[in-house]
Chain A
Amino acid sequence: MKVPSLRDNAIAAALVLCAGFALVFFYAPLDADQGFIQKIFYLHVPLAICSLAGFVIGGIFAIAHLRTDKAIYDVRSYVAIHLSVIFGVGVLITGSIWAHASWGKWWVWDEPTLVSFLIVFLLYATYYPLRYAIEDRDRQARYASVFAITAGAFVPLNFVAVRMAQSLVHPRVFATANGGLPGSMMLTFLVCLAGMALLWIALVRFELAAKAASASLSRLRRALEGEEYAPQSGSRIAPRVPSSATSPS
């Protein structure tokens, strides 16, 4: 099966996400409990799911990196985690807005998924100082992969623990009125989820392409100007795309 190009991927993401948001505002019924505020659910939850899936995917790439010792997997792991952290910022901000609209407070400890997401986010935020603190690039990549695997294993465990800590007295803020989603809401949610996932994939591939271009540029510069050229661009923590990877993944 031929992998769709980045351009097609991005177009698909834009179309599906637009369709999803259209469904949110023109098709999905109003929630009996929370009213119009519930519309945030269609944005917040897909962001959260994609972010968490992205962290796990980062862990899977990290496993591939350790097993095959190919730098391309480290780059993919880094970008996957990087974008999931960005999506994570979106999750926390939209979750906070939703909390304020529902409860009048900008943060609630009563919503277990939001709290466990905060913990996961705090953990993955340490990914950057971790990479920055290790100077040797090979070792940096290896240790970052170990971290990504450990953190990936941590995500489900953390969710279980936080959910268990949730006292049954406080009702969950974000649960819908009767627990399950009615069909029309479910459809809208799934379309939004698909759009968000496509967006995540498109952005990952976008960033990988930019990194590959940067790497090719460095190679070209080195070739033209000789070995004296020291690459001053490119941060110390962002892994370099290996020369063998010329096309975006």
Chain B
Amino acid sequence: MPALPLDEAGKYVAGAYLVFLTLVLIYVAIMAAKVARIQRELGELADLAEGRPDDNPPGADAGAQENARGEAEGKVLERERSSREELV
């Protein structure tokens, strides 16, 4: 069959390469959203670990957080140690 003239064929080829680019970019966008969420949660946890009350304390009320400050740090160390032991 005769090949399409260049201007028509060009559109198809461009379309195919654009589809590829779009797929990659969509994937990157989804991953970016995931990483942003991870970053946000890390920020919250960092605040929690340092004992500084942040604007949206995750699940704990402000009063308990003050008291739990010293406890939390101790708990972190203990749990990290014990969970590491479990894995070995």
Q: Which residues on A are within 8 Å of B, measured CB to CB? A: 21, 31, 33-37, 39-40, 43-44, 47, 86, 89-90, 93-94, 97-98, 100-103, 199, 203, 206-207, 210, 213-214, 217, 219-226, 228-229, 233, 242-244
Contact = CB atoms under 8 A, between A and B. Distances in A.
4 interchain residue pairs of minimum CB distance: A35-B3, A36-B9, A101-B12, A223-B79
A207 B31 CA distance: 8
Contacts, number: 98
Q: Main secondary structure on chain A at its contact with chain B? A: helix
Given A40-B16, A210-B35, A86 B27 contact: yes
Interface in B53-88: 58-60, 72, 75-76, 79-80, 83, 87
Contact of A33 (B3, B45, B80): B3
A43 B3 contact: no
Interface of B: 1, 3-4, 6, 9-10, 12-13, 15-17, 19-20, 23-24, 27, 31, 34-35, 37-38, 41-42, 45, 48-49, 58-60, 72, 75-76, 79-80, 83, 87
A187 B3 CA distance: 23
